[in-house]
Chain A
Amino acid sequence: MTFQQFAYRNVIRNSRVYAAFFMASIFSVMVFFIYSMLMFHPNIEDQFLQDIAFGGMLVAEIILIIFTLFFLFYSMSAFLQARSKEFGILLNLGMDREQMDRLIFIETMILGFISIAVGIFFGFSFSKFFFMVIREMFLLDSLPLYLSWKPFALTIFVFLSLFITISISSAMYIRKKEIIQLLKGNWRKSDDVDFTKWKANLGFGLLLAAYSLVIISTYYMNIEMSIIIIILATVGTYYFFTDSILYLLHQIRKRKNLYWHRYRLIAFAEVSIKIRENARMFFIVTIVSTIAFLSVGVVTSFSTFTGQYRALNPVSIFYSSNWDNPFEREHIMKITNQLQSDNLSYELVKFNVKKQTSSSNGEVVHLIRESEINSLAISLKYPILDLPAGKAQFLTDIKETMGNDNEQEVQTVLAESSVPIYIQGVYDYQLFPSFVMDKQTIIISDEDYRLINEPLMGYGVNESNITYYAFHVPEWLRTKNVGTDLVNIMTSSLANTNHNPNPFYFENPGLDYSVIQATFSLLLFTGLLVAAVLLLAAGSFVYFKLYTDLERDKKQYDVLRRMGVTDRELVKIVNRLLIPQFFLPWGLAMVHSTFSFLFLQALWVDLAAISIAMEMLLVLAAFTLIQVSYFYLIRWRYIAHIQI
């Protein structure tokens, strides 16, 4: 048997031990590879899409690498610890330290090679499927599978260096120990639980401060606050796991009436030790789970967003033209031509909007004819209006009316033309973009409209008129190619100012929507995959840790069983031991996410009137379900191990 064979057999014959580890690292290689496949895709022509694809994937990959590094390092040292007796024997038999380093190196590299090979194999197999999903999301025409050396090279390079780093550092880990320590097995320092009181209080304080800031922000929104909240929460979480929770357990243990009770005695004592040993891991899991929950939650809320976006932007393409606009004919021609060439059916409603001064408050108002509103309402399947002469209705602008109720009934006179109208109620549908509704818009009857002959004070005959062109396109999601040059003009001239210097205004909600949707979907996909990797890794890490301590735990349970603990009671003790390890990092991540959602919700309301509470609840529930089933799986394995 050669040295390499020896190392190889060590890995293969321990494959049951390594199974969970393999699964997690293969999965992370796979996800990494799929991401890099998208990152290097040659066929994404759209520059904008390429930017988000590349940027989004890059961030996801960096998160993955950092996490995988931690994960590999922790699990490698857990394994080596579990096998320390074996290493002790080898050293005792005369293996020198250099050979030992080589043994560990070869073993780790075997693990690494297998993980990388299998991970890339699965990654490549699933790439086509991934591309199909991405194509649907971005509404691309095609996103074929391609073969290039780049994603392979990147994945192999990154993970090979990861595994080399890990194998060298874990060899160092063993190196420092004396043979006698290795032979004795567990080199846990002591079973004592140490914490610092001020750090414990700091942990609680920081978390409390972060949460309070979130609650304050729901009243006084301040985006800069979010950075402070994130820092407070992150540092708070760290101290929470390293000190606060131990302090809390210590306080409970001091109260004998609470502590000296059935299973609590063993459970609390053991849990304190496990938490102290895994504090950093718990911290990482909490933070990353929070990020994963958040990205998934935000994106899930997108389905709500679609519905509400449509309600806010019912007109598929909107063009408004001032009286002095020389491009009006040219632009409308262009838009209709593009719609026709894309095979999109449309209905066009033209609005002649007149400006007058309202006598009741002396402000300029926009006036729209009832029959024009009705022809758009019919296309959009909104209720139609029937206004008698002299009556009128406000046209709602959701952003404007948010919070302050408009006067519902106003008697006024349109000053220039001396037309008296009685405004009663609101036509409660957002028809035009908020941008053009900078003045109060009133729908008046056709009879009254005809009576408005005089221009706005100080303007020429036609100078107080605006024309709106509202295109209703049933397939509004496909309009993203229409009027892109107009959109570019709008974005460049409105980038820094709220004042429109152009004599026209253009809005294409379909295009805006496709951009928002693509960004969100990418976030969702990235978030989902990263979350999946993390959940898997976090779960298997708990499993390794349990496995490492299995010998010690077995002995304990044997003593307990002799002492007359029934099997049912043993399961109860195991529950109390496992539940905190599974649900503590996770519960804190939940609380973090809930508060983050509160913050987002507040932020969202400022951006647009959208409620994301329901979606967030769903996401949290789904993750809980996954976590619970994972808990049962691991508990089942653990109990099977200790019941012999």
Chain B
Amino acid sequence: MSILKLDEVTKVYEGKVAHLAVNLLSFEVEKGEFLAVMGPSGSGKTTLLNIISTIDTPTSGDLLINDINPLNLPKNELSLFRRKHLGFVFQNFNLLPALTVEENMILPLTLDDQPVEEMKKKVKILAEQLNLTSILEKRPAEISGGQAQRTAIGRALIHEPSLILADEPTGNLDSKSAKDVLEILTEVNKKRQTTIIMVTHDPTAASYCDRVLFIKDGQYFNEIYKDDRRQTFFQRILNVLSLLGGNVNDLSTIRLS
């Protein structure tokens, strides 16, 4: 069953020079899948993520999340839709500095006005899983990047959304913290069957996923599925990236001449 379905989604930024950010992009994401979206800078990754986040609307094409087309929802219900179905993890963590780790995590629940007992229970379980129990009372300024990102993951998970959107979640982390975060995402994906879409530059990060989708200049470029060993998957990702980075057309012209 597909949880997300994009059908010929196109986004054009109007202006003095019209810019085609996403061009006729179609793909599906199955429930419980961990998808990475890769592509060079300016390839439209962020626009794509914003469209899926429903905070940006495509110029044409259709989008289905959980069989609901968010494009047809009025503004207010769209917000409620996001609140119910989506969870976000950002590159800069974007924790609210005034709130403690615990308070940051329960934020989505308070907005939904859930009973306090329920919140306490959920925080306790999640904090143990994310290894945050000892720092629940700390503020974002007092914790490390890895801890901050784990808190952000906790915030994205606590209301049990059907889809988690992660924008470069390891972009600001050292390799050890990045590994921790990726392992946690994988674990969450496996144990909770949470669908995750992760935009990333980092091939190591992408190698933790089930599938990697490559886009270039807003268009579908290629996709590869993981195999038994992460090491070989990583190698294949690198291969595609080298194709993406170097100009494919240039190479062929050289050959032809």
Closest to A559 in B: B94
Q: Which residues of A are found within 8 Å of B108, using beta-carbon distances?
A: 563-564
Q: A559-B94, A562-B53 are in contact. Are A192 and B116 (CB under 8 A)?
A: no
Q: A256-B116, A262-B111 are in contact. Are A565 and B96 (CB under 8 A)?
A: no
Q: Which residues of A are found within 8 Å of B80, using beta-carbon distances?
A: 564, 566
CB contacts under 8 Å to A, within B81-109, are 81-84, 86, 88, 90, 94, 96-99, 103, 106-109
Closest to B138 in A: A192
Q: Which residues of A are found within 8 Å of B83, using beta-carbon distances?
A: 563-565
Q: Which residues of A are found within 8 Å of B84, using beta-carbon distances?
A: 564
CB contacts under 8 Å to A, within B53-96, are 53, 55, 75-76, 79-84, 86, 88, 90, 94, 96
Complex CA–CA separation, A261 to B118 (angstroms): 12
A568 contacts chain B at the CB level, 8 A cutoff: yes
**Can you list, as one digit per residue, whether each of B132-152 has a CB less than 8 Å from chain A (1) or not (0)?**
000000011110000000000
Per a CB cutoff under 8 Å, which of B90, B98, B106 touches A270? B98
Per a CB cutoff under 8 Å, which of A190, A272, A563, A567 touches B111? A563
A213 contacts chain B at the CB level, 8 A cutoff: no
Q: Which residues of B are found within 8 Å of A568, using beta-carbon distances?
A: 76
Q: In the bound complex, do residue B107 and residue A563 qualify as a contact, i.e. CB atoms below 8 Å apart?
A: yes
A555 contacts chain B at the CB level, 8 A cutoff: yes
A489 contacts chain B at the CB level, 8 A cutoff: no
Minimum CB–CB distance from B56 to chain A (whole Å) comes to 11
Q: In the bound complex, do residue B110 and residue A261 qualify as a contact, i.e. CB atoms below 8 Å apart?
A: yes
Q: In the bound complex, do residue A269 and residue B76 qualify as a contact, i.e. CB atoms below 8 Å apart?
A: no
Minimum CB–CB distance from A1 to chain B (whole Å) comes to 27
B124 contacts chain A at the CB level, 8 A cutoff: no
B228 contacts chain A at the CB level, 8 A cutoff: no
A273 contacts chain B at the CB level, 8 A cutoff: yes
Q: In the bound complex, do residue B79 and residue A266 qualify as a contact, i.e. CB atoms below 8 Å apart?
A: no
Task: Specify which of A263, A269, A555, A562 lies most central, judged by the most chain B CB atoms within 10 Å of its CB.
Answer: A562
Per a CB cutoff under 8 Å, which of B88, B99, B120 touches A269? B99
**Can you list, as one digit per residue, whether each of B18-53 has a CB less than 8 Å from chain A (1) or not (0)?**
000000000000000000000000000000000001
Q: A256-B120, A260-B106, A559-B90 are in contact. Are A265 and B82 (CB under 8 A)?
A: no
Q: In the bound complex, do residue A566 and residue B94 qualify as a contact, i.e. CB atoms below 8 Å apart?
A: no
Q: A256-B120, A561-B55, A566-B79 are in contact. Are A265 and B94 (CB under 8 A)?
A: no
Complex CA–CA separation, A562 to B53 (angstroms): 7
B113 contacts chain A at the CB level, 8 A cutoff: yes
Q: In the bound complex, do residue B97 and residue A191 qualify as a contact, i.e. CB atoms below 8 Å apart?
A: yes
Complex CA–CA separation, A389 to B139 (angstroms): 93
Q: In the bound complex, do residue B99 and residue A265 qualify as a contact, i.e. CB atoms below 8 Å apart?
A: yes
Q: Which residues of A are found within 8 Å of B55, using beta-carbon distances?
A: 561-562
A409 contacts chain B at the CB level, 8 A cutoff: no
Minimum CB–CB distance from A165 to chain B (whole Å) comes to 33
Q: In the bound complex, do residue B141 and residue A266 qualify as a contact, i.e. CB atoms below 8 Å apart?
A: no
Task: Give chain A's interface residue range (CB within 8 Å of chain B).
Answer: 20 to 34
Complex CA–CA separation, A256 to B117 (angstroms): 9
Q: Which residues of A are found within 8 Å of B119, using beta-carbon distances?
A: 256, 260
**Can you list, as one digit per residue, whether each of A547-563 has a CB less than 8 Å from chain B (1) or not (0)?**
00000100110110111
Q: Which residues of A are found within 8 Å of B142, using beta-carbon distances?
A: 190
Q: Which residues of B are found within 8 Å of A324, using beta-carbon distances?
A: none
Q: Which residues of B are found within 8 Å of A558, using beta-carbon distances?
A: 94
Q: Which residues of B are found within 8 Å of A559, using beta-carbon distances?
A: 88, 90, 94, 96
Q: In the bound complex, do residue B107 and residue A266 qualify as a contact, i.e. CB atoms below 8 Å apart?
A: yes
Per a CB cutoff under 8 Å, which of B75, B88, B141 touches A562? B88
Q: In the bound complex, do residue B88 and residue A266 qualify as a contact, i.e. CB atoms below 8 Å apart?
A: no
Complex CA–CA separation, A190 to B117 (angstroms): 30
**Can you list, as one digit per residue, whether each of A245-281 has a CB less than 8 Å from chain B (1) or not (0)?**
0000000000011001111111001101100000000
Q: Which residues of A are found within 8 Å of B139, using beta-carbon distances?
A: 190-192
Q: Which residues of A are found within 8 Å of B116, using beta-carbon distances?
A: 256-257, 260-261
Binding site for A on B (CB under 8 A): 53, 55, 75-76, 79-84, 86, 88, 90, 94, 96-99, 103, 106-111, 113, 116, 119-120, 139-142
Name 20 extra pairs, CB < 8 A, besides A564-B80, A565-B83, A568-B76. Answer: A191-B140, A192-B139, A260-B106, A260-B110, A261-B113, A262-B113, A265-B99, A265-B103, A266-B96, A273-B98, A552-B97, A556-B94, A558-B94, A561-B55, A561-B79, A564-B81, A564-B83, A564-B111, A565-B111, A566-B79
What are 28 pairs between A and B in contact, CB < 8 Å? A190-B139, A190-B141, A190-B142, A260-B106, A262-B111, A262-B113, A263-B111, A265-B103, A265-B106, A266-B98, A269-B98, A269-B103, A272-B98, A559-B90, A559-B96, A562-B53, A562-B88, A563-B83, A563-B88, A563-B111, A564-B79, A564-B86, A565-B79, A565-B83, A565-B111, A566-B79, A568-B76, A569-B79
